[in-house]
Amino acid sequence: MCGCSTHQSGEAGKTVIPQAGNLTLKVDDMTCGHCADTIKTAVESALPGALANPDPATKLVTIAGTADLNSVKAAILAAGYTPSAA
């Protein structure tokens, strides 16, 4: 879980409606905008060309630009969060 102590209610990212070709994972321990930013940075750094849109309100992360589910999961795990099937 996030240890940032800055849990603010501001927008953490755009909510994306899952579309064909996107990967969507649930990340129950994503609790705030800081968590969302960390996950977004981790995925996009590990998978150049991928676009991650985490939404702490729904606990969903939608990723476009890659079909490599294992690499996406590994990037989220490396960032300290626990991805699961949406």
Residue 12 inside a domain? The answer is no
CATH number, residue 35: 3.30.70.100
* Between 11 and 29, the higher pLDDT residue: 29
Residue 76 lies in a domain: yes
Between 34 and 3, residue with greater pLDDT: 34
18-to-1, 9, 10, 34 alpha-carbon distances in Å:
25, 23, 22, 22
Question: What per-residue confidence (pLDDT) applies to 69?
Answer: 96
- Domain count for the chain: 1
Predicted structure pTM score: 0.79
Is 21 part of any domain?
A: no
State which residues form the domain around 58: 28-85
Which H helix or E strand runs over 42? helix 33-46
Asked whether residue 13 is assigned to any structural domain, the reply reads: no
Per-residue model confidence as pLDDT tens digits over 24-67: 999 999 999 999 999 999 999 999 999 999 999 999 999 999 99
Instruction: Look at residue 4 in the predicted model and tell me its pLDDT.
Output: 67
Is residue 2, in this structure, part of any structural domain at all?
no
Assigned domain for 47 exists: yes
| Residue 41 maps to a domain | yes
